[in-house]
Structure 1
Amino acid sequence: MKFSENDIEKFFSGKLSEKEAKEFLTWLHSREGEKVFNSRIDYLWKNQIEGDHVKKGVDQHTANDIQMLNQRGSDRKVNAAPSIYFKIAASFLAIFTISYLLFLNKPIWSNENQIVDISPKEILKSAPKGQKSKLTLPDGSMVFLNAESSIKFMDDFKVNRTIHLSGEAFFEVAEDKDHPFKVITDKLVTTALGTSFNIKAYENSSKIEVSLASGKVKIADVSRDSQIEINPGEGISYQPKLGELELQKVDIQSILNWKEGILQFEKLPLPKVIEILERWYGVDIEIKGSNHSQKIKCTGTFKPNEYLSNVLDVLGHSIEFDYEINGKNITLNFK
C-alpha cells in the first residue's frame, strides 16, 4: 500500500486503522518511505527556521549566522545542515515509535514475533437466593439454574465444553460428537454428548446427585478412577467423603419439579425443608419452641410459584407451628 506525506498527519491524528498503521510503519522504513520522511523533515526544518526568524525573533548572532548560510550557497547548506536534520529525524522517529505503541498497544515486530494475549477468559453465571435463571450457552445448550446456584465456563466454550457447577442445574445439551459436554462438581465429572440431565451439588450438602432425563451420560470419580454410565430414569448418589457411586432408580419428573416452580417434599426432615425454603424464597428462617425439630419430617406438593405464606400455612397446620414474617426474616414458633 502506498503512502504520502499527508498520511503522516493521519497517523498522528489516529485516522488510520490498526492494519493501515502497521502498513504505514513498514512503508516508513522502506527506501521510498525514508525519502518521503526526509523530505518532510527538511520541509519542517526550513519552516521552523523561517518562522522563528520572522515571528518570534532571534538574537542578532543567530540571525547573522542564518544570513551567512543563505549567502554561501547550497553546497554550504548541505554540509552544515545534515547533523541537525539527523537529530530532528531521530526525534521524529522516536515519536513515531511511541505513537505506534500507544495506538496499537503492542510491540513493533513482525506478525511472527507478536505476543498477544489470546488465553480464554472465565465466564460466571449465577442465580441468587429467591431466583431461578435460564440461559443459553455459546454452543446452543440450555441451562436452568436453581436458586443459589452458579456455573463457570471459559469463553472458548464451543470447543471446550466444560462447566463447573455449584448448586443445582438442569442441562439440555446440544449434540456435538467432536466436543463432549462435561460438568464438574467437586471430584465428579459428568460427560454427555447430546442429552438432558439434572445435577444437584450444593456446597453444604453431603452428597451429589445426578439424574438422567434423556440420552446417556458417563459419570466419573476422578479421585478414584472409577466411572459408571446411566440411562434415562436412572441416577447416582455420590458422597465425596466415601467416594462411592451409588446407582438408583429416580422419578425424574419429581426431581425436575423445581424447574416448573413446584415445591415438593417427600418425608423430608424439617431442617432440609427450612434450607430449601430459605433458598427458594430468599429468606432467613428461625425456629423457636421445639426441641424435636430435627426429627420432624414433612410431605407435601405445592402448586407452581406458591406464595411463601401459603406454604407456611400448610406446613404449620401439619406440624403445628405459628409463624411471623418480618421482611426477609421468618420465625416459626412451635406450640
Structure 2
Amino acid sequence: MNKENLDEEFKKLWNETPSSHSESTKEASWEEFQAKAFPKKRKIKLWRYYAAASVLLFVLIGTGIYFNNNSITEKAVLAGNVIENTTQKIKYVVLPDNSKVELSPNSKISYGDNFALNRKIEIDGEAYFKVKKDKQHPFQVFCNETTTTVLGTSFIVKESNQKEVTVELYEGSVQMNVNGQDQKWILKAGEKFIYGNQTAAVTAFSRFVDFDNAKLSALGTYIEENYGYKVNIPQEYSTQKITIRINKKEDLNTIVQLIAEMYNLNFEINEDLKQITFQ
C-alpha cells in the first residue's frame, strides 16, 4: 500500500473517535498526528493521539484475503491433534504456524499433523483467532457448515447449542463459504456473519469499548474483568480521568504500556499471581 492510501486508511480510523470530540478537534489532531507519524526515514510501530488528556488507540496487524474460485463443499479430513478446554477459563494455544488461539471453556479445536503447510482447523464451541500471515498457505476454519478463509487477521468463531455459527471480524478481511452454496460473503472489520437454519446474514457489531472522561480505576476494572489480571494503581492516580477507545481484543501489554507512558509510571506483571502493579 502506498503512502497516500495508507494515509487515507489512518484518517478513516481516526474519525471513529467518540462523538464527544468536535469535527474541528478531530481535524486539528489528525494534522498533528500526520506530521508525527510520517517523518522522513522513520518507522512507527505504535500511533498515539493526545488531545485534552484524551487518547485514541488503534493497533493494526497484517491483513489479507484469499479468494477461491470454487465454493468449499465439505470439510477437510482433520486428524492428529485435538486440543480441548475442559476448564472454566480461556485456554491460550499457539499453533505450529505461530498463529494464536484463545479457546473458550467447553470448546475444542482439531488440526492435521502437517498444519504449517495445510492450515485447516476445525472448531467446536468458541475461539478467538489471531492468524499469522502466510500468503502461500491460506488459513481455514471449519465450523458446522461454514468455512472462514483468511491470510492474516483476527476474528472470533463460535457455535451455539442450536448449531448457529457466528464469525465476528476484528481486523482484516475474511471470506465466508457455506457447504453446498456458491455464494461468498466478504467481511470487513466490524462486521459479523451469522449462519443458522440454512440462512446467512451479515450485520455490524461494536468492536471497540470507549472510556469517556472515566476514572483510571475504571480501566483497571475493565482489565480485570476481561483479561483476568488484578490491577493495582497508586491511590493518587486512581481518580485521574482518561478518555480512550480500545479494541475489545487488544493485546494486554499494549494497554498496560500505554497507561505507563501516559502517566509516567513503571509497571510489573506477575504472571503467577495474575497481577499488574503500577508505581
With normalisation by structure 1, the TM-score equals 0.39
Structure with greater proportional strand content: 2
Structure with greater proportional helix content: 1
The structure having more radius of gyration, on CA atoms, is 1
If asked which structure has higher relative contact order (CA below 8 Å, sep 6+), I would say 2
With normalisation by structure 2, the TM-score equals 0.46
